[in-house]
């Protein structure tokens, strides 16, 4: 069986250079990397990560904790993380902790401390200071996505600010009868995402002197199906209908569009709809949205982790507000003429 020395001889490089070239660690010129990879392929040599981990103290494995793998945001972040880790020569271990407190405790206090992972990415999980210190004590850098984590690097968007912007867009179009579909109370557990976006919506309404009507504040589970059912109740009442809906996620916005069609409401002529996310289906439905680039957030988390590993845990924790992008499509427009406010 060929070894790394055989590859080095064939490539005309030192064993150290071949090791760096094949592992992706350290600086190697593109020409030397290509020579090492070609020689390894010709000899059928595969770098042993178990052997390199003994020498480097690394497992080339990153643990990723998510509350769920079924929701779009979490799966999109994991997609971005996975692609970036593969490019860097790292494996990924996924921990789906869901809403199970015991499972979450076991992951934090057992699995992640068995020294099988080099670093941890926590997605939309509000770790306590004790939990963070336990992980840092095991010499593992942490990057959080979704909100602040004391002592750890974090990546987040301005949820309140973008909710304000979404509501303000509808108000500037002339809408005064605006409904909001928020997340169920269960989703306020970590970082209060639904509550934060609802606060942003209400601030824009107050700033414009508009009333927030309780009957037009409905909740769902961040899915198309859940929002479809909630939007049917919202739009199917015998009382006055809203002329616009701000949904706290794109999937809930799409559910709203589908419910509106059931009642013969045309988007955007009878009802404007806006969401938040940047979901791929948004383009299909012509959805106006604020794109938070979930995959990009995952990729940035990997870059931040690898920089921490290369620079050691003394790298300063950094709180990064990730940029978002407002995308105006065909689902929002001025309100129907009969509902437009009178202008002096």
| Same domain assignment for residues 209 and 332 | yes
Total number of domains constituting the chain: 3
Give the model's confidence band at 39: pLDDT under 50 very low, under 70 low, under 90 confident, else very high: confident
Residue 339 carries which DSSP code? G
| Same domain assignment for residues 151 and 163 | no
Which residues share a beta bridge with 209? none
Average pLDDT over residues 166-174: 98
Q: H or E segment at 301?
A: helix 294-311
If we measure between CA atoms, which residue out of 176, 197, 155 comes closest to residue 290? 197
Residue, of 5 and 99, whose pLDDT is higher: 5
Instruction: Name the 3-class secondary structure at 233.
Output: helix
| Same domain assignment for residues 334 and 205 | yes
Residue 321 lies in a domain: no
pLDDT of residue 339: 56
Is residue 182 over pLDDT 70? yes
Residue, of 343 and 192, whose pLDDT is higher: 192
| Same domain assignment for residues 152 and 247 | no
Give the model's confidence band at 129: pLDDT under 50 very low, under 70 low, under 90 confident, else very high: confident
Scan for tokens 């928020």, then name that residue. 182
pLDDT of residue 27: 67
Residue 53 lies in a domain: no
Residue, of 169 and 319, whose pLDDT is higher: 169
pLDDT of residue 196: 94
Which residues share a beta bridge with 291? 277, 325
Is residue 338 over pLDDT 70? no
Residue 175 lies in a domain: yes
Is residue 163 over pLDDT 90? yes
CATH of the domain at 205: 3.40.50.2300
Contact (CB, 8 A) for 134 and 108: yes
pLDDT in tens, 258-296: 999 999 999 999 999 999 999 999 999 999 999 999 999
Give the model's confidence band at 344: pLDDT under 50 very low, under 70 low, under 90 confident, else very high: very low
pLDDT of residue 26: 58
pLDDT in tens, 61-89: 898 989 888 889 999 999 999 999 988 88
Which residues share a beta bridge with 246? 180, 274
Residue 150 lies in a domain: yes
Residue, of 2 and 93, whose pLDDT is higher: 93
- In whole angstroms, give the CA distance from residue 58 to residue 118: 6
CATH of the domain at 36: 1.10.260.40
| Same domain assignment for residues 333 and 208 | yes
| Same domain assignment for residues 302 and 282 | no
Residue, of 338 and 321, whose pLDDT is higher: 321
Question: Strand 288-291 vs strand 325-327: parallel, antiparallel, or unpaired?
Answer: antiparallel
| Same domain assignment for residues 140 and 230 | no
Is residue 191 over pLDDT 80? no
Is residue 343 over pLDDT 50? no
If we measure between CA atoms, which residue out of 150, 83, 158, 89 comes closest to residue 122? 150
pLDDT of residue 157: 96
High-pLDDT (> 70) share of the chain, %: 87
| Same domain assignment for residues 80 and 192 | no
pLDDT in tens, 211-246: 999 999 999 999 999 999 999 999 987 678 999 999
Is residue 202 over pLDDT 90? yes
Scan for tokens 């590859």, then name that residue. 7
Residue 17 lies in a domain: yes
Could you list the residue range(s) of the whole structural domain that residue 37 is in?
4-47
Residue 193 lies in a domain: yes
Residue 71 lies in a domain: yes
pLDDT in tens, 299-335: 999 998 888 776 654 445 788 999 999 999 999 999 9
| Same domain assignment for residues 171 and 269 | yes
Residue 201 lies in a domain: yes
Is residue 50 over pLDDT 60? no
CB atoms within 10 A of CB 160: 16
- Reported pTM: 0.81
| Same domain assignment for residues 174 and 282 | yes
| Same domain assignment for residues 102 and 240 | no
pLDDT of residue 104: 72
| Same domain assignment for residues 118 and 200 | no
Phi-psi region of 225 (alpha: psi -120 to 50; beta: other; left: phi over 0): alpha
Cis preceding linkage at 268, omega within 30: yes
pLDDT of residue 49: 53
């Amino acid at each position: 069986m060929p070894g790394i020395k055989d590859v080095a001889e064939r490539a005309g490089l030192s064993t150290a250079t071949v090791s760096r070239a094949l592992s992706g660690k350290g600086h190697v010129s593109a020409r030397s990397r290509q020579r090492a990879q070609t020689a390894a392929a010709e000899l059928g040599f595969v770098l042993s990560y178990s052997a390199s981990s003994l020498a480097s103290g690394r497992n080339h494995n990153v643990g990723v904790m998510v509350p769920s793998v079924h929701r779009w945001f979490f799966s999109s972040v994991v997609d971005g993380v996975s692609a970036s880790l593969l490019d860097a020569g790292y494996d990924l271990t996924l921990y789906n902790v869901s809403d199970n407190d015991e499972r979450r405790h076991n992951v934090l206090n057992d699995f992640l401390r068995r020294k099988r992972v080099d670093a941890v990415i926590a997605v939309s999980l509000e770790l306590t200071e004790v939990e963070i210190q336990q992980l840092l004590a095991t010499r593992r850098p942490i990057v959080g996505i979704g909100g602040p984590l004391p002592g750890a690097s974090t990546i987040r968007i301005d949820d309140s600010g973008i909710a304000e912007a979404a509501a303000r867009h509808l108000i500037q179009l002339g809408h005064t009868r605006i409904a909001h579909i928020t997340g169920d109370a269960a989703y306020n557990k970590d970082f209060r995402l639904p509550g934060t976006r609802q606060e942003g919506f209400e601030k824009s309404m107050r700033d414009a002197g508009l009333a927030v009507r309780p009957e037009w504040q409905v909740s769902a589970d961040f899915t198309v199906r859940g929002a479809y059912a909630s939007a049917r109740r919202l739009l199917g009442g015998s009382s006055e209908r809203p002329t616009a809906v701000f949904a706290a996620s794109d999937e809930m916005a799409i559910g709203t569009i589908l419910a509106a069609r059931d009642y013969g409401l045309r988007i955007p002529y009878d009802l404007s709809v806006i969401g938040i996310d940047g979901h791929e289906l948004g383009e299909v439905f012509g959805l106006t949205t604020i794109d938070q680039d979930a995959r990009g957030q995952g990729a940035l988390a990997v870059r931040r982790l690898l920089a921490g590993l290369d620079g050691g845990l003394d790298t300063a924790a950094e709180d990064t507000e990730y940029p978002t992008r407002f995308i105006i499509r065909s689902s929002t427009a001025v309100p129907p003429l009969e509902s437009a406010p009178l202008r002096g």
